[in-house]
Amino acid sequence: MKKAVILYGGNTRKSRLKGLLDKAEAFLTANDFVFETIYVHELPAEDLINANFKSKSIMEANAKVELAELIIIVTPVYKAAYSGILKTYLDLLPQTGFEGKTVLPLVLGGSFGHLLVIDYALKPVLSALGATTILKGAYIVDTQVEYAENDRFLIDPQAEERLNRVLELMREEESRYSSSIHR
């Protein structure tokens, strides 16, 4: 079975960012991935801020990343970059923490003015962590995700189409990668 980890870089489980997370989790479930979601904001703040590499919680999160073949990064845009919450965790990964992994960024921003955050802010860090395949990803504007009832979110049809497209490309890439290993 294919293993994945979702790194959730938001500061709450109740923001519109959770709509992107829900979509990614539903896709992974429907496509027989085994996955775990790491809510970075729920890791011990003191360990994140003080770069405590020996923290039990950090080491457990890093072990999950190490075992995954696929990493999905879900982050909001703050001040024209991915979240600082996410950055504090990425800094605690080993230098080659994403080596041999496929990485898919899903980003939620306040306007299309930050559309290039994936290419200019996030991808360089993912590359520095050794990611061998960084997929195009999707940038969604927060007005395209609405809170519904019962902690559910409605995604604008155009945004949902973009998400479906990048998730399907991720699945195809992972299938291609898996079949090349088994030859």
Sheet strands (E) in 9-93 = 33-39, 70-78, 81-82
Of residues 142, 141, 123, the one with CA closest to residue 133 = 123
- For residue 177, pLDDT over 90 is answered with no
pTM score, whole prediction: 0.94
Distance of CA 43 to the CA centre of its chain: 16
Q: What is the pLDDT of residue 89?
A: 98
Instruction: Look at residue 180 in the predicted model and tell me its pLDDT.
Output: 58
Does position 41 have pLDDT exceeding 60, yes or no?
yes
Choose between 96 and 179: higher pLDDT.
96
**What backbone phi and psi angles, to 5 degrees, belong to 40?**
-60, -35
pLDDT tens digits, 124-171: 999 999 998 999 999 999 999 999 988 899 999 999 999 999 999 999
What's the rounded mean pLDDT across residues 96-107? 96
Domain count along the chain: 1
Of 15, 23, 13, nearest to 72 by C-alpha is 23
Q: What is the pLDDT of residue 150?
A: 84
The CATH number of the domain holding residue 46 is 3.40.50.360
Q: Could you tell me the residue range of the domain that residue 90 belongs to?
A: 2-181
